[in-house]
């Protein structure tokens, strides 16, 4: 049998897999990135866009840690917009339409030119592991064609391809994406290793030929006049922008859908798994929001060199003939030609409460999961997990701790903690509302939160770090200059905290001192000043949380030894196995009293041999 040796093996080359492979390689690991088809590396399976509400923040964080996604969308984007720009900065979220093929090719090129990384077309059919001293350890993977790849760390980023079935009306086809197949060997291997495996569903809309759309009946949606890049390394964006358009469904469309629900797989019982609540099919929208007489649809170009249009907002698994009728009822689409029909996909995933916070599995040492295998949805969420998993795999091989980002330091940290602590009962999508410290986690300051950490780990190169350091020095100089000015007897930095005062007004007052400060630097100084009070209050909460995080729970802590603890609490804590009291406190159903008992037993293990009355008398309380 052909045998290949690596440090890290990454299975799957989508958004999670490419970030995982690149981050592990940046940390010095020899990496094999295995994919069933080299022509789909970095492919956008669904919508032709990167970013959006909360997702844009994640992309900025990936970039701040040296990842691929930010620079790639900057080079291949066809329209850039800053969402929620009329709201406060914590809600600002960048989004860009992508040239799908250009994005895919750019990701592939960057992977191919990455040192220490070998990209190979292989179909993985099984996992190789061994049991040593009662603990399972990954050894590698078997691929089709009598060959095996061996490594001390394996990252699975299998997307929607595990035992996947596509649905269009009554028709069912094996495959995780139109025109591609599926795999069952990995699912069987995971079940053999004792993992819980469940099913989720996702969907995609029809694609249309733009030549056959009457755009005069739609609303044009241009990009921003002064577009902002995703990457902190990008100075200029490509142009010109390509517009999108908006149209709407109507009551005739809704009536057609209602009349055909008996043919919709989601309503006939043909699809039994759960889909994403926040990205529902048009069938779900019509049923769940019966009072709505129309739903907004976005007509999004798939690239500069194609006329294919993605119809965002009308994901469906209805039969082809119903999709044909439905399009003819929508303004502007009356004569539209469907190039690809919409469909739904059911696929296997592993509930993420089986993972450590750095995405290593609890039951198999050296095996990591990232992306939709963890029950998430979205390119950005997948890429974030991939970066964490790949970096952690390389770090663990160096006998270092995996990459764990706190909820106070990154949306990526919120994502990881939500998944491993709370699990999922539907495909997980990131929202700003999930982040309790979102005033601190703005898209504009992602580099100030993460680039120093990335540099210290080896994820960020010298060029990026030098640029970051120069920015910090400029912010410090501008802040000092501002504090030395006075307006109405008040230091200018404090005067700027007033809601009605803007940086532009101060520039008019002090043009010689402030007029030459770059807009990006000025923005950071203004936000630092205006939101200093809010951030200071959040920092108090963060400090309290960090004190709890310092209370580490031993890896093999026996919750059954806590005599006075409720059976439900023992079961939940034993299942999740939190790494510290901070994580334990976020498990659903765990009370402050439960945390107090865990703390008491950690600080005094002898309590396990005492009676309940002795425990009650300790009066132990978490800080």
pLDDT band at 621 (very low <50, low <70, confident <90, very high): very low
* pLDDT classification of 564: cutoffs 50, 70, 90: confident
Same domain, yes or no: 171 and 211 = no
Overall residue count recorded for the chain in this entry: 623
* Integer Cα distance of 618 and 609 in angstroms: 14
In whole numbers, what is the pLDDT of the chain averaged over residues?
94
SS3 label, residue 394: helix
Angle at 516 between CA 514 and CA 522, to 5 degrees: 60
pLDDT at 601 exceeding the cut of 80? yes
Q: Are residues 369 and 330 in the same domain?
A: no
User: Structure tokens of 441?
Assistant: 């986690």
Q: 24 and 126, same structural domain?
A: yes
Asked if residue 529 belongs to a domain, the reply is no
H or E stretch covering 359: none
- Residue 422: pLDDT band (50, 70, 90) is very high
Name the residue with higher pLDDT: 240 or 298.
298
Q: Is the pLDDT of residue 615 over 80?
A: no
Task: Kindly state whether residue 298 falls inside one of the protein's structural domains.
Answer: yes
How are beta strands 147-150 and 2-5 bridged, if at all?
A: parallel
pLDDT, tens digit (0-9, with 9 covering 90-100), for 312-329: 999 999 999 999 999 999
User: Residue 530: is it exposed, middle or buried by C-beta count within 10 angstroms (0-12/13-18/19+)?
Assistant: buried
Cβ proximity of 567 and 552 under 8 Å: no
| CA-to-CA separations, 503 to 78, 120, 401, 507, 527, in angstroms, rounded | 31, 52, 43, 6, 10
pLDDT of residue 177: 86
364 within some domain: yes
- What does the pLDDT read at residue 111? 98
Task: Mention every residue, 6+ apart, whose C-beta is less than 8 A from residue 158.
Answer: 11, 12, 183, 186, 371, 372, 373
558 SS3 class: coil
Query: Quick check: is 114 in a domain?
Result: yes
State whether 386 and 420 are in the same domain: yes
Q: Are residues 36 and 133 in the same domain?
A: yes
Q: Which pLDDT tens digit goes with each residue over 124-144?
A: 999 999 999 889 999 999 999
Centroid of chain to Cα 395: 21
Backbone angles phi, psi at 376, to 5 degrees: -105, 170
H-run or E-run covering 369: strand 367-369
- Report the candidate in 376, 199, 222, 406 with the shortest Cα–Cα distance to residue 298: 222
- Supply the range of the domain harboring residue 378: 2-48+103-201+347-431
Inside any domain, residue 331: yes
163: region left, alpha or beta (phi > 0 left; psi from -120 to 50 alpha)? left
Q: 223 and 314 share a domain?
A: yes
Tell me, what CATH number does 126's domain have?
Answer: 3.50.50.60
Which pLDDT score is estimated for 239? 82
For residue 520, what are its two tokens? 């990006």
What pLDDT, on the 0 to 100 scale, is given for residue 609? 58
* Residue 66 placed within a domain: no
Q: What is the percent of the chain with per-residue pLDDT over 90, rounded to a whole number?
A: 87
In a domain, 423, yes or no: yes
Residues 168 and 32 in one domain: yes
Give mean pLDDT, residues 547-553: 90
- The CA-atom distances, in angstroms, between 281 and each of 168, 271, 418 are 12, 13, 25
pLDDT tens digits for range 404-416 = 999 999 999 999 9
Last residue of a domain, one of 280, 313, 343: 343
The per-residue pLDDT for range 215-233, each reduced to its tens digit, is 999 999 999 999 999 999 9
Residue 205 has pLDDT above 90, yes or no: yes
Q: Are 278 and 53 in contact (CB under 8 A)?
A: no
Residue 362: pLDDT above 80? yes
pLDDT beyond 60 at 524:
yes
CATH number at residue 592: 1.10.150.570
Domain count, the chain: 4
Q: Do 61 and 93 form a contact (C-beta atoms < 8 A)? A: no
Residue 619 has pLDDT above 70, yes or no: no
Q: Residue 131 and residue 135: Cα distance in Å, rounded?
A: 5
Residue 533: other Cβ atoms inside 10 A: 10
Q: Which residue has the tokens 């026996």?
A: 558
What is the structure's pLDDT at 506?
96
Which whole number is the average pLDDT over 346-359?
96
Q: Is residue 600 in a domain? A: yes
Q: Which of 343, 371, 401 is the last residue of a domain?
A: 343
Together in a domain, 159 and 289: no
Give the pLDDT band (50/70/90) at residue 253.
very high
Tokens for 313? 């907002």
Return the structure tokens found at 289. Answer: 């929001």
Out of 389, 415, 431, a domain closes at: 431
Domain with residue 299: its CATH number is 2.40.30.260
Q: For residue 173, what are the contacts with CB-CB under 8 A and spacing of at least 6?
A: 165, 166
Same domain, yes or no, for 364 and 409?
yes
Sign of CA dihedral 410, 415, 419, 421: positive
Same domain, 30 and 158: yes
Same domain, 251 and 329: yes
One domain for residues 326 and 426: no
């Amino acid at each position: 049998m052909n045998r290949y040796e690596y440090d890290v093996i990454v299975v799957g080359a989508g958004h999670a897999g490419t970030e995982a492979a690149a981050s592990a390689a940046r940390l010095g690991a020899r990496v094999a990135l295995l994919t069933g088809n080299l022509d789909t590396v970095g492919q956008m399976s669904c919508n032709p866009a990167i970013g959006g509400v909360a997702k844009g923040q994640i992309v900025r964080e990936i970039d701040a840690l040296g990842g691929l996604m930010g620079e790639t969308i900057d080079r291949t984007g066809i329209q850039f917009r800053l969402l929620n720009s009329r709201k406060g900065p914590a809600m600002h979220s960048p989004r860009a339409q992508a040239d799908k093929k250009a994005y895919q090719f750019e990701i592939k090129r960057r992977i191919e030119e990455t040192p220490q990384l070998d990209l190979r077309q292989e179909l993985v059919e099984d996992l190789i592991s061994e049991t040593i001293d009662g603990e399972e350890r990954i050894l590698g993977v078997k691929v089709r064609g009598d060959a095996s790849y061996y490594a001390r760390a394996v990252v699975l980023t299998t997307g929607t391809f595990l035992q996947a079935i596509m649905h269009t009306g009554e028709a069912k086809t094996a495959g995780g994406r139109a025109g591609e197949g599926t795999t069952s060997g990995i699912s069987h291997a995971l079940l053999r290793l004792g993992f819980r495996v469940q099913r989720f569903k996702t969907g995609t809309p029809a694609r249309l030929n733009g030549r056959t759309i009457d755009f005069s009946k739609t609303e044009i949606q241009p990009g921003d006049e002064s577009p902002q890049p995703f990457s902190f390394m990008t100075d200029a964006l490509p142009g010109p922008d390509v517009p999108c358009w908006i149209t709407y469904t109507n009551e005739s469309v809704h009536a057609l859908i209602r009349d055909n629900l008996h043919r919709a797989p989601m309503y006939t019982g043909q699809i039994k798994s759960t889909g994403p609540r926040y990205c529902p099919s048009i069938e779900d929208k019509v049923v769940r929001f019966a009072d709505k007489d129309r739903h907004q649809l976005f007509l999004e170009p798939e690239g500069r060199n194609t006329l294919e249009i993605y119809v965002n907002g009308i994901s469906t698994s209805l039969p082809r003939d119903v999709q044909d009728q439905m399009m003819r009822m929508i303004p502007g689409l009356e004569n539209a030609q469907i190039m690809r029909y919409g469909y739904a996909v059911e696929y296997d995933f592993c509930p993420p409460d089986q993972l450590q916070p750095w995405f290593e599995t609890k039951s198999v040492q050296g095996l990591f999961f990232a992306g939709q295998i963890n029950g998430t949805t979205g390119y950005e969420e997948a890429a974030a997990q991939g970066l964490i998993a790949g970096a952690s795999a390389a770090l663990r091989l160096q006998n270092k701790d995996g990459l764990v980002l706190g909820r106070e330091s990154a949306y990526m940290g919120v994502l990881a903690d939500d998944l491993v602590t709370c699990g999922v009962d539907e495909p997980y999508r990131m929202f700003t509302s999930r982040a309790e410290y979102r005033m601190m986690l703005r898209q504009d300051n992602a580099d100030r939160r993460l680039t120093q950490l990335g540099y210290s780990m080896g994820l960020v190169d010298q060029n990026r770090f030098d640029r970051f350091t120069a920015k910090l020095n400029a912010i410090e100089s501008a802040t000092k200059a501002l504090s030395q000015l006075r307006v109405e007897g008040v230091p200018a930095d404090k005067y700027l905290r007033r809601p009605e005062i803007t940086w532009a007004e101060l520039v008019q007052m002090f043009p010689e001192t402030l007029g030459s400060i770059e807009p990006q630097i000025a923005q950071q100084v203004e936000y630092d000043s205006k939101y200093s009070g809010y951030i200071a209050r959040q920092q108090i909460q963060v400090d309290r949380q960090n004190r709890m995080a310092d209370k580490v729970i031993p890896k093999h802590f026996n919750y059954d030894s806590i005599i006075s603890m409720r059976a439900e609490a023992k079961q939940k804590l034993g299942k999740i196995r939190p790494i510290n009291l901070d994580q334990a406190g976020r498990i659903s159903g765990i009370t402050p009293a439960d945390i107090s008992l865990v703390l008491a037993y950690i600080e005094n293990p002898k309590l396990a041999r005492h009676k309940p009355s002795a425990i009650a008398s300790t009066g132990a309380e978490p800080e």
